[in-house]
Amino acid sequence: MNIEEIREYCLSKKGTTECFPFDEDTLVFKVAGKMFALSALEKPANIVLKCDPDRAIELRERYPSIYGAWHMNRTYWNQIDIDGSLSPELIYELIDHSYDLVVAKLSKRERDLIK
């Protein structure tokens, strides 16, 4: 799995936009203006995703390539190294989870706009 596959998958989610608000190396994916994923474009490749706090702890204990994200609230954000140690299916599922958490917090009006 590479960063382009991750980018394509994130952009396939309804209402998703991409931008570089921090620097030219950190690609941010948003839905309704709310961030659900960040990804470094340079090596080592990684993605930062929002996660349910209990699940975040479970994932970090189970997978060495998943840990609390730097410069983020580590209660809710995991950093995932894209180093081949995790299956693409798991990474896609974690992207879905992050997206769904953000969408669930949107107002009904905002959710209706992205459908």
A 10 A CB-CB count for 109 gives 8
The identity of residue 65, as a single letter, is S
Residues with Cβ within 8 Å of 23's Cβ and at least 6 positions away in sequence, in order, are none
Q: For 66-96, what is each residue's pLDDT tens digit?
A: 999 988 988 899 999 998 999 999 999 999 9
Please state, rounded to an integer, the average pLDDT across all residues of the chain.
93
45 located within any domain? yes
- Look up the domain containing 78 and give its range: 3-107
Average pLDDT value for residue range 7-22 = 96
pLDDT for the residue 73:
87
pLDDT confidence bin for 62, thresholds 50/70/90: very high
**Where is pLDDT greater, at 29 or 83?**
29
112 located within any domain? no
114 located within any domain? no
Residue 82: CATH number of its domain: 3.90.1150.30
pLDDT for the residue 34:
96
